Amino acid sequence: MRLSERPLIARAEIDECVRRLAREIAARYQDGGGLVLVVVLKGATIFAADLMRCLDVHPLRVEYIRAKSYDGTDSVGEVELIVLPDLSVAGQRVLVVEDILDTGRTTTAILSALEDAKPASLELCTLLDKVSRRVIPVNAKYVGFSIDDHFVVGYGLDYREEYRSLPEIYVLEPSSA
Ligand code: 5GP
Ligand code: MG
């Protein structure tokens, strides 16, 4: 596997997209009623760090949840969820922050676990959406970019824990391509 020569999504596009999403989210939550961002580890951390610094919503709380469903570039179909102990969202307005929506299995598992915790409201923000790959329908209120069916890395997204620190988003291609 090797990185595409040029980024699929460059720095300036990411920055502009993050600002747009922050405006959309603020328009919904700016009434002083507060918001809990539930950031999905590890892939969404860099996106969430940029997003929350643009987000004019108060009071803002940040929590984390860990989900794992991929081995290399293949979805294994089963989702392992690790809920951190201080994730209490009962009665709170919750926005899940995801890196990428693919089959929808991971996000569905996360949303249903959070729904069980009885939040006042529950919405989803994803940086990337691979619409054509969806197996389970998921309603993402805030979407950064819809992308074709590529395996992408960078800006938090990994391939076997590598490439997360790249500042832009690249396609990982088979070496023979
Ligand atoms: P789903 O459960 O929707 O199939 O998969 C969602 C998870 O799979 C994402 O949170 C992410 O961890 C991983 N994933 C799906 N597509 C990609 C991709 O193109 N690149 C990377 N790095 N991870 C992906
Ligand atoms: Mg992920």
Q: What is the pLDDT of residue 147?
A: 98
Catalytic residue among 31, 56, 86, 102: 102
The residue ranges of DSSP E strands in 12-138, in sequence order, are 35-41, 60-71, 74-83, 93-101, 121-129
45 lines ligand 1 (CB under 6 A): no
Between strands 121-129 and 93-101, the pairing is parallel
pLDDT digits (tens, 9 = 90+) for 56-101: 999 999 999 998 765 666 666 677 787 776 679 999 999 999 999 9
Ligand 1 centroid from CA 87, angstroms: 23
Other Cβ atoms closer than 10 A to 78: 9
Q: What is the pLDDT of residue 102?
A: 95
Mutation test residue for ligand 1: of 157, 158, 166, 173, the one with most atoms within 8 Å of CB: 157
- pLDDT of residue 22 exceeding 90, the answer is yes
Q: What is the pLDDT of residue 60?
A: 97
Q: Say whether 148 is catalytic.
A: no
Q: What is the pLDDT of residue 160?
A: 93
pLDDT digits (tens, 9 = 90+) for 140-171: 999 999 999 999 999 999 999 999 999 999 99
Alpha carbon 116 to its chain centroid, in Å, reads: 20
Q: What is the pLDDT of residue 70?
A: 57
Q: Which ligand sits closest to the CA of 128?
A: 1
Q: What is the pLDDT of residue 101?
A: 97
Q: What is the pLDDT of residue 81?
A: 83
Q: 3-state DSSP call for residue 51?
A: helix
Name the H helices within the chain: 11-29, 45-54, 105-116
- pLDDT of residue 4 exceeding 90, the answer is yes
Tell which atom from ligand 1 comes closest to the C-alpha of 105: 2
Q: What is the pLDDT of residue 72?
A: 62
